[in-house]
A = this chain, B = another copy of it.
């Protein structure tokens, strides 16, 4: 017998989890369409050199990569931004102003942890072309509408890295070294996970004045700074559109490739989940891929986290309908089930390998399903069904009327 394990860090999306994934996917496709994005999916496998373009050769330590049978170094995609950006930059016939969206799986060779796997789904949206703050704003609005649709409550945190840099430079004085600026960014990025004292001590150990950091943090907390033009435009319209947000100059979002605008969305009900959405402007990446004439701004998020944030939100369970029949009228039962399905009613047809009586079939089905459509030999002879909604609550209808009866009386309906 074959072993049934999965490789370490992998998992199946079992039906109960896939159902939630599908809810997020539906909401995402809907919002992407409403906001004028085109759905696509970049290749699952890329040349290793393409994957390294964004994050450098160190990315090898964190991804699945291998040499294929043709001797090519390839890797499984670790996010969707790289693939979408490569796609956009590789085809100059594409419109310069292009909105792309993807909902797909990615792979990371991380150490697996509770609830964190080496294979998971992400959603991702990118606007290629414009550098206007309106493009950044559109990304935040889509993120907000996606989470609202899913009833996930969040607060957005927005920033412009140029604002942070100016605060750092003002705090450090004219002679501040470039390295002290970069390290200050790096330190601010750690404040989410570690104590302020710890982060300041590390900054000092690297040979920089911790007073600078202290001053940046104080000014960020007290609001003692002026917004950049970009942030001013974005925040004014976020307020108009009633998107809950705050500005925080400490938000850096890693050091990889963000230029100016950055943002995150944090769950207000599940703080432990960290950020549910992250994004910003990354004009640097289009430059690396040979399109310095194009801006790029986008956002994405892990689907598992959104699903976690959705737990506890009440959802309407669909009523489950089953056709109940004894062995002798199984042919009629198939006709009943299929007739209902073709009219849009989702129907279970339990299958019996052994002979069963109508009583036995009824007892089994009554435990599992909400609505029973009885299709015994008597019903077969008359071309009717008996619809049982509960004890004593039963109607007899011709098969041709059964779908309408189920749909209208019970509010039972297929997915669409």
Across the interface, A345 reaches (CB within 8 A) one of B34, B89, B342, namely B34
Asked if A105 CB lies within 8 Å of chain B CBs, one says: yes
- Contact-size category for A: 35 or more
Assess the A349–B12 pair: CB atoms within 8 A: no
Residues A41 and B12 in contact, CB atoms below 8 Å apart = yes
Q: How far is the CA of A49 from the CA of B4 in the complex (A)?
A: 9
Q: Given known contacts A15-B38, A145-B342, A414-B33, is B4 in contact with A290 (CB within 8 Å)?
A: yes
Residue among A12, A14, A118, A135 with max Cβ neighbours from chain B (10 Å): A12
Comparing A213-221, A328-336, A383-391, the segment that makes contact with chain B is: A328-336
Chain B residues in 8 Å Cβ range of A53: 2
Chain B residues with CB under 8 A of A344: 34
How far does the alpha carbon of A15 sit from the alpha carbon of B141 in the complex, in Å?
A: 22
Query: Are B236 and A331 in contact, CB atoms less than 8 angstroms apart?
Result: yes
Contact partner, A334, options B109, B134, B288, Cβ 8 Å: B134
Kindly list chain B residues whose C-beta atoms are within 8 Å of the C-beta of A45. Answer: 6-7, 10, 64, 107, 118-119
- Distance in angstroms from A232 CB to nearest chain B CB is 11
Q: State which of A124-132, A186-194, A201-209, A264-272 sits at the interface with chain B.
A: A124-132
Pairwise interchain contact B69-A109, C-beta atoms closer than 8 A: yes
Asked if B44 and A4 sit within 8 Å, CB to CB, the answer is: no
> Is A347 on the interface with B (CB-CB < 8 A)?
yes
Contact (Cβ within 8 A) B7 A105: no
Partner of A7, one of B1, B5, B74, B342: B74
**A34-B414, A39-B22, A338-B141 known; A288 and B2 CB under 8 Å?**
yes
**Is A46 in the interface zone, CB < 8 Å from B?**
yes
Q: Is the CB–CB distance between A86 and B4 below 8 Å?
A: yes
With CB as the reference atom, state the residue of chain B lying closest to A98: B15
Contact indicator B12/A87 (Cβ below 8 Å): yes
Q: A393-416: which have CB < 8 Å to B?
A: 414-416
Q: Which A residues, 333 to 356, have Cβ-Cβ distances below 8 Å to chain B? A: 334-335, 338, 341-342, 344-353
B127 touches A351 (CB 8 A): yes
Partner of A47, one of B5, B18, B89, B145: B5
**Do residues A349 and B6 form an inter-chain contact, with CB atoms below 8 A?**
no
Task: Say yes or no for A166: interface residue by CB 8 A criterion.
Answer: no
- Check A43 for interface membership: any CB of B closer than 8 A: yes
B-contact 0/1 string along A207-237, CB 8 Å cutoff: 0000000000000000000000000010011
The closest CB in chain B to the CB of A82 belongs to B2
Assembly CA distance A191 to B178 (angstroms): 73
Q: Which of A318-335 contact B (CB under 8 A)?
A: 330-331, 334-335
| 29 residue pairs A–B, Cβ–Cβ below 8 Å | A4-B86, A4-B289, A7-B45, A7-B46, A10-B44, A10-B45, A12-B41, A13-B41, A14-B40, A15-B40, A17-B40, A18-B40, A19-B38, A29-B415, A30-B416, A33-B414, A34-B346, A34-B414, A34-B415, A35-B347, A45-B107, A45-B118, A66-B67, A129-B351, A130-B351, A130-B352, A134-B334, A137-B334, A237-B331
| For the complex of A and B, 5 pairs with smallest distance between CB atoms | A66-B66, A4-B90, A15-B38, A2-B53, A36-B348
Q: Which residues of A contact B (CB under 8 A)?
A: 1-8, 10-15, 17-19, 21-22, 29-31, 33-36, 38-47, 49-50, 53, 64, 66-70, 72, 74, 83, 86-87, 89-90, 97, 100, 105, 107, 109, 118-119, 127, 129-132, 134-135, 137-138, 141, 145, 233, 236-237, 240-241, 288-290, 295, 330-331, 334-335, 338, 341-342, 344-353, 414-416
Extra pairs beyond A2-B53, A145-B341 (15, CB < 8 Å): A2-B49, A2-B288, A2-B289, A3-B49, A7-B72, A10-B43, A12-B40, A12-B42, A14-B40, A15-B40, A18-B39, A66-B67, A97-B351, A130-B352, A233-B331
